[in-house]
Amino acid sequence: MNKRTLQRNLSRIGQSIATIFVVCTLVFVLVRLIPGDPVLQVLGNEASPERIAALRSELHLDGSLPEQYLAYLGDLLQGNVGDSLIRRGTSVSEIIFSSVGSTLTIAILGLALGILVGTVGAIWGAVSRRRIVDTFVQAFAILAYATPTFLFALLLILLVAIMWGILPAGGWPGAFPDNFLYAILPATALGVNLAPKFLRPVRQGAIDVQDTLFMEAAISRGLSRRTLIRDHVTPNS
């Protein structure tokens, strides 16, 4: 690794740390600006002053704002993000890690679907001899890129789950292969949103490959169109 690369990597690491610091600070400030008392939200208005004071001390809310901020940063550095205000007695970390499996499953399936749809659509549009096919592929990319993921997800729930009753609208049974059925809709919503990010560069690559000298040489050797697409266009784009 040369000196310039090292400096660039160190700069990126520094920028990432600064971004995390700014985000954490904004979260701290915004939470303090929200009306209401989190202690009363947990205990209710009928709680005794002693219980209120004890919980306020436990949450580091009895000190000044600088003291609260330092305690907040200290807890974050230790990986302690506190207990859930809704599920009292359960740490936020526990809630997050309990969902890691389902999150990774949906993310991997969505990414695989996005790569598959984007790559196949790009090659199909770039090598097609019919202009309408490429126009359709580009229109799909624009529409998929412009549609928010949550909106497409709601449409999938409305049509596929509620109206047609083909797939479940939500939940996570926790056992394979039932998990796969519950992951299809969210993975589809994620994959359709990711597909244009792969489609556009791969399509341009496929167009560029078709204009190269080695493609002309392959055509002159009499290779079939299917062989050209499979062995030359697809891997090089």
Q: What pLDDT digit, counting tens, does each position of 188-231 carry? A: 999 999 999 999 889 888 888 888 888 888 888 888 888 888 88
pTM of the complete model:
0.69
What distance lies between CA 82 and its chain's CA centroid?
24
Task: Round to whole Å and give the CA distance between 55 and 59.
Answer: 6
- Dihedral (Cα; 213, 218, 224, 225), 10-degree rounding: -20
Task: Round to whole Å and give the CA distance between 216 and 237.
Answer: 16
Q: Is the dihedral of CA 205, 207, 210, 214 positive or negative?
A: negative
Whether 237 and 209 have beta carbons less than 8 Å apart is answered as yes
pLDDT in tens, 78-97: 888 877 777 777 888 888 88
User: Across residues 170-192, what is the average pLDDT?
Assistant: 86
Residue 101 has pLDDT above 80, yes or no: yes
Which three-class secondary structure state does DSSP give residue 214? helix
Side chain identity, residue 89 = G
